[in-house]
Amino acid sequence: MSVNLQTPIDYLKGVGPSRATLLKSELGIYTYQDLINLFPNRYIDRTRYYKINELQQTNADVQIIGKITGFKEVAQKRGKRLVANFQDDTGVMELVWFRGQKWIRDNLKTNKPYVAFGKVNWFSGKFNMAHPELELQEEHEKNIRSAMQPIYPSTEKLSNKGITNKVVNKIMQQLFIETKGRFVETLSQPILNELKLINKSEALFNIHFPKSTELLHKAQFRLKFEELFYIQLQLIIKNLIHKKKIKGLPFEKVGNYFNTFFNEYLPFNLTNAQKRVLKEIRADLGSQAQMNRLLQGDVGSGKTIVALMSMLMALDNDYQACLMAPTEILSVQHYNGLQEYCKKLNINIEILTGSTKTSKRRIIHESLENGELQILIGTHALLEDKVKFKNLGLAIVDEQHRFGVAQRSKLWKKGPTSPPQSSHEEEAKNEVGYIPPHILVMTATPIPRTLAMSVYGDLDISIIDELPPGRKPIKTVHRYDKNRLNVFRFIRDEIKKGRQVYVVYPLIQESEKMDYKDLMDGYESISRDFPMPEYQISIVHGQMKPDDKEYEMQRFIKGETQIMVATTVIEVGVNVPNASVMIIESAERFGLSQLHQLRGRVGRGAEQSYCILMTGHKLSNDSKTRLETMVRTNDGFEIAEADLKLRGPGDLMGTQQSGVLNLRIADIVKDNAILNSARYYAKQTLQNDNNLSAPENQVILNTYKQLAKFKNIWNYIS
């Protein structure tokens, strides 16, 4: 009879209630399954046995066969230490214990061959080993033994309570004895054959007790592939189900609004990338399935025009559209940009944010519900229950990583509630109880391919990867504090030419721990070097009231001030084509994507723009890499890849999104090639057999069903 891997860990011989409690709280190990998927962090080579006369003063882990010839107690400042003489046929060393001495004396036998394993130290002219792992040689030879000793994840609490690496190893051995090392296969035979993967049981045995380095590598590859394969399979199935089940509103035509704008009011020729993306969106909107698309485009690549033209398609089909942005500043900017075009096209557009007056809100709510208001721009205020659309057909979310999942789903539920206009609409409504609008998610934060595939694998992705013609690439330089006078001279020259300048600081108040230039200091020193009335300076930071912030922003936008001193509140969405210089103080304190976002605030006009990264002299290696990357390239995707390598996926995604990537063994940066292969095979499998009903895919279907039940990929993969 096979052992059920969902058996609570308490029942495994050698664990018991108190150890079980610790394993649950410290490592999240509740079942046999969880234990089998506790993969080692690293391995120590246990193939070699050293002689005492071969030892070097390297502080390395070694194992030695010898006999204990006697014990002595040595007094020290606090208590005593127990010392044993340990000898082989080439010499003598000491084994030392600072605690647990009574147990050791009672349980260790003298003049019997032991294998001692641990770190070797050189002290008072002799080698010693503190708290060694000791095993009688005959026991040592009986145990499930591997050439490479696994070192498991641990915590201080586990070590203090005596659950050492040796104990974990022992209970892992017990698990293999109880299960006879037999585990259910989770990948299909064609995949195993094609990729020459070892089977599941062999992989699990060799990840915990590798028989050789070669088998360890094969086990790691197999388990990494499996983990990434099922993540990709889940995401692709989610996308397919979405397209099949969640029917979309029928956008049957491209009509008057779109064509008039395209032929008469388009401010510049669309780039090929913009045309390609509009084609993809148009195909989605006409496909009878709900659009669920992510639009990526670097700062200044022209996403807003694509968003407007998508909204015009909604209006042409008698639906409303909305655009939600994370900050008031960004919402106002979108509104101001779109308002001009809407006026020309005779479209009713409004803005709704936290600071919209109550009387104005009432009018907006009313005209939304009766369908007079065609486009609504706004912040989180759009999500309020009072905001009801007559027939919302398209919802666009800008910088969606700033919104939580629950917030986004609120927007989905604001789809049409009026009687359906067609039988297709009725059908769509029956499936989910309401008709979700088409969704377009936009981001100027380039997402590396690896991450996009893993986290947004269920969305269709469009990329605008070229800048509008006539834009000059921004020149980026790195300068140290000692070059400040030259930098100020350069600013004066730019202001003389009629240009404007941003100066961005990382902190608002003086930080005791960090002696970085803070905003107020900076403001004062800039005011000294650029005195009134010749120069005017705006200041903006997160602790100001919205009205004061807006007043200062407006002064800068109108050109009444030449210098804007700010914290990162201006990171997203301030559009001043006349601003040509971005100075980032203490640039080493910013992440790569943040530096790239800030740099994107300049370079919006036809003039040459500059980004100057200011730092002190002491820089860590990571900081140097970030600054060198910024100076070398303007390509957001290259920068995002570099950022992923430096920071890892968890940091990059933030907590809301990173749950998807709680990987046990794979690393999406280092294992990029395995990820690509896993996505390819997941796609192929579903293309050839979309219900996974073929006999050879039975194991994949069973595993996938288990996965859906347990939510966490490693809860079932055995």
495-525 pLDDT tens trace = 999 999 999 887 655 444 443 446 778 888 8
Structure confidence at residue 1 (pLDDT): 44
Establish how many alpha carbons lie within 13 A of residue 549's alpha carbon, considering only the half-sphere containing its beta carbon. Answer: 19
| Among 664, 637, 645, 699, residue whose Cα is nearest residue 231 | 664
Q: What mean pLDDT is predicted for residues 532-539?
A: 89
Nearest residue to 403 (alpha-carbon basis) of 382, 433, 430, 425: 382
50 vs 23: CA distance, rounded Å: 34
pLDDT at 144: 63
Helix, strand, coil percent content, the chain, rounded in steps of 5: 45, 20, 35
Identical fold for domains 256-464 and 475-633, yes or no, is yes
Burial class (CB in 10 A: 0-12, 13-18, 19+), 193: exposed
Specify which residues 151 forms β-bridges with. 42
Please give the residue that has the higher pLDDT: either 513 or 387.
387
Does residue 86 contact residue 148 with C-beta atoms inside 8 Å? no
| C-beta of residue 119 within 8 angstroms of C-beta of residue 134 | no
Tokens of 75: 């007094």
DSSP summary character for residue 380: G
The pLDDT of residue 158 is: 86
At residue 117, φ and ψ (nearest 5 deg) are -130, 135
Residue 222 carries which side chain, given as an amino acid letter? R
pLDDT band (50, 70, 90) for residue 456: low
- Indicate the DSSP class of residue 715: G
Q: How far is CA 166 from CA 27, 171, 709, in A?
A: 16, 9, 34
Task: Give burial (CB, 10 Å; 0-12/13-18/19+) of 36.
Answer: buried
pLDDT given for residue 138 in this prediction: 87
Q: What is the mean pLDDT of residues 555-581?
A: 79
Name the strand (E) or helix (H) holding 614.
strand 610-615
Report d(CA 651, CA 645) in Å as an integer: 11
Please tell me the predicted confidence (pLDDT) of residue 116.
Answer: 93
- The Cα–Cα gap between 136 and 149 comes to 17
Architecture of domain 475-633: 3-Layer(aba) Sandwich (3.40)
Cis ω for the linkage preceding 533 (within 30 of 0):
yes
The most confident of the ranges 58-72, 96-110, 189-203 is 189-203
pLDDT of res. 434? 63
DSSP 3-state assignment of 286? coil
Long-range contacts of residues 423-427, Cβ cutoff 8 Å, at least 24 apart: 424/247, 424/250, 424/288, 425/249, 425/250, 427/247
Give the whole-angstrom CA distance, residue 116 versus residue 291: 64
pLDDT at 660: 44
CB atoms near residue 16 (< 10 Å): 12
Chain segment 164-191, per-residue pLDDT in tens:
888 999 999 999 999 988 899 999 999 9
Task: Check if the beta carbon of residue 326 is closer than 8 Å to that of residue 494.
Answer: no
Q: What is the pLDDT of residues 274-315, one digit of tens each?
A: 999 999 999 989 888 888 888 888 777 788 899 999 999 999
Average pLDDT over residues 327-337: 86
Q: Which helix (H) or strand (E) holds 425?
A: helix 423-432
pLDDT digits 0-9 by tens, 424-442: 455 445 444 567 889 898 8
The more confident residue out of 466 and 652 is: 466
**Residues in CB range of 261: below 8 A, 6 or more apart:** 308, 309, 312, 341, 345
Non-local (6+) Cβ contacts of 106 within 8 A are: none
CA distance 299 to 58: 52
Residue 448 CB neighbours (<10 A) = 22
Domain boundaries, the chain: 47-144, 256-464, 475-633
Which stretch of DSSP H or E encloses residue 529? Answer: helix 519-529
The one-character DSSP state at 679 is: H
Contact by Cβ (8 Å): 705, 685: no
Q: What pLDDT does residue 640 have?
A: 76
Helix (H, G, I), strand (E, B) or coil at 329: helix
Cβ neighbors of 476 (< 8 A, separation 6 or more) are 599, 610, 611, 612, 613, 630, 631, 634
Residues with Cβ within 8 Å of 273's Cβ and at least 6 positions away in sequence, in order, are 297, 301, 463, 464, 465, 466
pLDDT at 243 over 80: no
Rounded mean pLDDT, 39-57:
85
Residue 718 has pLDDT above 50, yes or no: no
**441 with 459: CB under 8 angstroms?**
yes
Residue 234 confidence (pLDDT):
85
Residue 476, classed as helix, strand or coil, is: strand
Give the pairing type, strands 113-123 and 61-75: antiparallel
Query: Does the pLDDT of residue 541 top 90, yes or no?
Result: no
* Ranges assigned E (strand) in 325-378: 349-352, 375-378
Nearest residue to 520 (alpha-carbon basis) of 540, 536, 495, 496: 540
Note whether 618 and 591 are within 8 A (CB). Answer: no
Alpha-carbon distance 487 to 480, whole Å?
10
Which parts of 180-212 fold into alpha helices (H)?
A: 189-195, 200-208
DSSP character at residue 13: T
- Range from 200-204, 355-359, 488-492, 661-665 carrying the lowest mean pLDDT: 661-665
Whether the predicted pLDDT of 547 surpasses 90: no
Residue with the bigger pLDDT between 707 and 369: it is 369
Q: Which of the four pLDDT bands, split at 50, 70 and 90, describes residue 400?
A: low
Q: Which of 575, 583, 605 is nearest to 530 (CA)?
A: 583
Residue-wise pLDDT for 600-659, tens only, equals: 888 877 789 999 999 988 888 888 988 999 999 887 777 877 777 776 655 444 433 434
DSSP 8-state symbol, 96: E
Helices (H) and strands (E) in the chain, counts: 25, 21
Average pLDDT over residues 26-30: 90
In the predicted structure, residue 590 carries a pLDDT above the cut 70: yes
Buried b (16+ CB within 10 A) or exposed e, 308-341: bbbbbbbbbbebbbbbbbbbbbbbbbbbeebeeb
Measure CA 74 to chain center.
Answer: 53
Question: Cα separation of 644 and 592, whole Å?
Answer: 9
pTM of the model as a whole? 0.61
Name the maximum alpha-carbon separation found in the chain.
99
- Which amino acid makes up residue 653? M
Cα dihedral 193→194→198→201 (10° resolution): -60
- Listed residue (605, 594, 597) closest to 559, CA to CA: 605
Domain 256-464 superfamily per CATH: P-loop containing nucleotide triphosphate hydrolases (3.40.50.300)
Q: Does domain 47-144 have CATH number 2.40.50.140?
A: yes
User: Residue 439's Cα: distance from chain center in Å?
Assistant: 22
CA 647 → CA 90, 273, 379, 455, 641, distances in Å? Answer: 49, 30, 30, 16, 10
Q: Could you give the 3-state DSSP secondary structure of residue 576?
A: coil
pLDDT over 80 at 375, yes or no: yes
Q: Which of 134, 135, 132, 166 is nearest to 152 (CA)?
A: 166
Q: What are phi and psi of 110, to 5 degrees?
A: -85, 155
User: What is the radius of gyration, based on Cα positions, of the chain?
Assistant: 32
Location of structure tokens 């006078």: 485
Instruction: Report d(CA 487, CA 614) in Å as an integer.
Output: 9
How much is the average pLDDT of 409-413?
A: 74
Range picked from 267-271, 647-651, 709-713 for highest mean pLDDT: 267-271
